[in-house]
Amino acid sequence: AHVAGKVEWNGVGVLRDGHRVKVLGNVGSPADAVAAAAAGAEGVGLFRTEFCFLSSTQEPTVEDQRAAYAAVLAPFAGKPVVVRTLDAGADKPLAFLEPDPEPNPALGVRGLRVAFDRPEVLDRQLEAIALAAKDSGADVSVMAPMVATAAEAAWFVDRARKAGIERVGVMIEIPAAALTAREILAVVDFVSLGTNDLAQYTFAADRQVGAVATLNDPWQPGLLRLVKLVGDAGTELGKPVGVCGEAAADPLLACVLTGLGVTSLSMNHTALAGVGAKLASTSFDLCQLAARGALGAHDPASAKLAARAPH
């Protein structure tokens, strides 16, 4: 059992009524992966591959990438791992994928957009991921960051399938993607909400600027209403909807997200036991009540109060 404070968690994300919500780890290095596995993660909901190459001045070779990814996947043999393709740019610049100077890098060529100009870089990464999946025995899916439209999602799915990867998804972290979740879900196997960027773009509030941090609060009802659109689309189409932004690490918010239709939560290893224990103490009915209350609130503080009422 994994202990957080006084409550114990048995390492399976399940509500007291049996409703399943996978509790997964966010990782970016072999040390993160070991820590997440030790803390009871059922798998990995977000492997930030760009973290492996923050200091690389040249594109790593397929073999270098294969080794780096296999080292992170190793503790999760036989378990599900979502590998995110390079999310370069803005707050995570990579020297070998620097765009031309831009006035607003967060709105420029970052994430999957880098691959539209240089698809061969994406193809080499997909090849390395497929090889690392075989090396490690992990049950690997891939997903793309910073997808804005269903056409972009379809473009990525096509390349990933050609690389031999079976399960392919995209992140929902741009408001337009949340608004068109149905169309996107129609062409992918799953989606994962990146609430850090989704908040940044929804509130036009830079995630790196402390002065606007109150707008970037994941309890903002405006953000939760976008999450609901995606949760509803996932429920309708019967496809998984994860959350891998910081929102997933807040135990009470995890209940709200579950009530909104989210089927997996991925977080830093330090948050796993707390979220797992909180989920075990609640039911889907209570989560839906909490979600309804939070959605109707006028600000983050009252959203939190409304979610606490049934809990």
Interaction site with ligand PEP (CB under 6 A): 46, 48, 87, 173, 194-197, 244-245
- Which of the stretches 11-19, 168-176, 220-228, 280-288 binds Mg ion when contact is defined by CB under 5 A? 168-176
By beta-carbon proximity to ligand PEP, the closer residue of 15 and 247 is: 247
Q: Which residues pair with 169 in a beta bridge?
A: 143, 190
Question: 228 contacts which partner out of Mg ion, ligand PEP, none, CB within 5 to 8 A by kind?
Answer: none
Give, for 264, the enclosing helix (H) or strand (E).
strand 264-267
CB of 7 to ligand PEP, least distance (A): 26
Question: Which H or E run includes 192?
Answer: strand 190-193
Question: Which range in 49-57, 160-168, 190-198, 226-234 contacts Mg ion by CB under 5 A?
Answer: 190-198
Please state the closest distance from residue 267 (CB atom) to ligand PEP, in A: 10
Helix (H, G, I), strand (E, B) or coil at 138: strand
Between CA 288 and CA 258 the distance in angstroms is 8
Q: CB of residue 83 vs ligand PEP: minimum separation in angstroms?
A: 13
143 token code pair: 């997903």
CA–CA dist 289, 307 (Å, integer): 8
Nearer to ligand PEP, 85 or 282 (CB): 85
Nearer to ligand PEP, 245 or 261 (CB): 245
Among Mg ion, ligand PEP, none, partner that 239 touches (CB below 5 to 8 angstroms by kind): none
Under the binding rule (CB under 5 A), the answer on residue 50 touching Mg ion is: no
**Residues contacting residue 9 through CB under 8 Å, at least 6 positions apart:** 1, 2, 3, 40, 272, 273, 276, 277, 280
- Of 196 and 302, nearer to Mg ion (C-beta) is 196
CB of 171 to Mg ion, least distance (A): 6
Find the shortest distance in angstroms from Cβ 265 to ligand PEP.
12
Contact 121, 131 (CB under 8 A): no
- Considering beta carbons, is residue 194 or 242 the nearer one to Mg ion? 194
Would you say 133 or 244 has its CB closer to ligand PEP? Answer: 244
- At closest approach, how far in Å is the CB of 197 from Mg ion? 4
Q: Report the residue number, 218 or 259, with the smaller CB distance to ligand PEP.
A: 218
Residue 243, Cα to own-chain centre: how many angstroms? 5
Stretch that binds Mg ion, among 151-159, 167-175, 285-293, 298-306 (CB under 5 A): 167-175
Report the nearest approach of ligand PEP to the CB of residue 147 (Å): 12
Contact set for Mg ion, span 193-252 (CB under 5 A): 194, 197
Q: Which residues fall within 8 angstroms of residue 306, CB to CB, at 6 or more apart?
A: 290, 293, 294, 296, 297
- Interface with Mg ion (CB under 5 A), residue total 3
In the complex, minimum distance from the CB of residue 3 to ligand PEP, in angstroms, rounded to a whole number = 26
Of 198, 201, 199, 259, residue with least CA distance to 231: 259
Which residue, 48 or 113, has its beta carbon nearer to ligand PEP? 48
Query: Structure tokens of 24?
Result: 């997964």
The tokens for 190 are 């799953």
CA distance 302 to 286: 17
Q: How far apart are CA 171 and CA 197, in angstroms?
A: 10
SS3 127: helix
Instruction: List interacting residues with Mg ion (CB under 5 A).
Output: 173, 194, 197
